[in-house]
Structure 1
Amino acid sequence: MPFQKMVTEMKEDSCRKLLLNVAERMPELVFDISSALKVDDKVEPEKPNTSIPGWCTCHNCQDMPSDAENLCCDTRPQNCISQRPEFDIYCFEPEVLDIANVMRNDVLVLAQDDDINRRRRHAAYRQFVLWRCGHLGTGNSVVVRSCCVLRIRRTFSDRNRQYRGFLPNRLV
């Protein structure tokens, strides 16, 4: 029996239990499910914003230094990953970022960076990747979405506004 047919034939109580079980195991899916269920009947059409790049659908991106970094989360503006509550929890809680840094430095035997904003900014990028992609392993990397990079940079800014951007072959 196809999954979709099985779910539509489930009783409301069983469906509710299934969703609660999924939410406990994979909380990030709750937001994907809720965004898929939203009805946009009452949403007014968005006015075109000329500062939004053509490749951006969430309206929170801007052109990045390289083509590889011009990557959107591909959601509607109201569902942008960079605006989700779990993004705040995983990528902006100072305690989470500090613990992640201490663990990384211990495992890789690295000295702690003295610049707290740079340390937390880089930890936020790593937390985002871990949250959205899982553990990638040494030598593997992915591009963090432009909207998320911009929000992380605004929160943990460099005093000179100097950012390295995506380095595909970076090992550490």
Structure 2
Amino acid sequence: MERNTESIVPEEELERRRLALIESMVNQPTVYLDPNRTDPRYNDVLDVPQPSVEERLSNTDWCLCGKCHQMPTMEESICCQEIEQIKEQFLENSQCICEDVYVNQRLVDRENVIDLYRYGMSFQRKRLRSVSQMEESDFRKTTYRAFTMWVYGYLGPRRRRPIPSCVVQHIRAAFPSPDNIYLGFIDANADGNAVDFF
């Protein structure tokens, strides 16, 4: 018996399905449907060639703004010029998002960060440290969240985005860890508890 090898599904649809399957396996191999990637802004994610680990971790050749530092993970090894939503925030003739007044001055101003922290406290179910007990890590965390909200808007719990290396370094310089140990980016899928987000 001869089989009909013609597909009743158009070639374009087969290719779209194949790419969607590949993306879901690359993005999170153990989860076929990733609700975090249903945003239409990520439709072209497979069109961008993915660099190898060696190309990102051993140098800063990937940096386009000239202010990035080597980072410990692939997710953190990203330049502000590689993220379209961040490039939209650039000032005219600017090479780096750190040159923006909001990032360069407001995000590293202690009084402004304290105001942001207080604002965030008003949305928390669990009790945060009082402002007088804030540590440098609280300043960094608040600033990272403020930057993310400024660029992407409110993402909601478990929807995180890596912050460009240049911005991370700028924030760490303003609010350094006393022991020079930093947590870094944690993917929401790897984090077991996200109750402290605002």
Q: Distance in 2 between matches of 1:86 and 1:115?
A: 22
Paired amino acid for 2:129:
Q
1:69 CA displacement: 0.5
1:159 CA displacement: 0.5
Structure ID, larger Rg? 2
Match of 1:73 in 2: 80
Match of 2:99 in 1: 83
1:131 aligned residue (150, 160, 184): 150
Q: Distance in 2 between matches of 1:100 and 1:93?
A: 11
1:111 aligned residue (128, 147, 159): 128
Paired amino acid for 1:156:
F
CA RMSD of superposed structures (Å): 2.3
Q: Distance in 2 between matches of 1:153 and 1:56?
A: 18
* Percent identity between the two aligned chains: 25
1:154 aligned residue (153, 167, 173): 173
Q: Distance in 2 between matches of 1:102 and 1:119?
A: 11
Q: Deviations over 1:127-150 (max 9, x none)?
A: 110111111111111001100000
1:89 CA displacement: 4.1
Paired amino acid for 2:162:
V
Q: Deviations over 1:27-86 (max 9, x none)?
A: xxxxxxxxxxxxxxxxxxxxxxxx961110001001101011001011799520012212
Q: Distance in 2 between matches of 1:116 and 1:137?
A: 24
1:55 aligns with 2:62: yes
Q: Deviations over 1:64-120 (max 9, x none)?
A: 010110010117995200122121344122222112112222321322173432111
Paired amino acid for 1:111:
L
1:101 aligned residue (117, 139, 142): 117
User: Under a length normalisation based on structure 1, what TM-score does the superposition of the two structures give?
Assistant: 0.63
Larger deviation, residues 72-81 vs 120-129: 72-81
Q: Distance in 2 between matches of 1:105 and 1:122?
A: 13
Match of 1:143 in 2: 162
Q: Distance in 1 between matches of 2:99 and 2:71?
A: 19
Aligned length in residues: 122
Q: Distance in 2 between matches of 1:110 and 1:140?
A: 22
User: Under a length normalisation based on structure 2, what TM-score does the superposition of the two structures give?
Assistant: 0.56
CA contact (8 A) 1:52 1:61 kept: no
Match of 1:64 in 2: 71
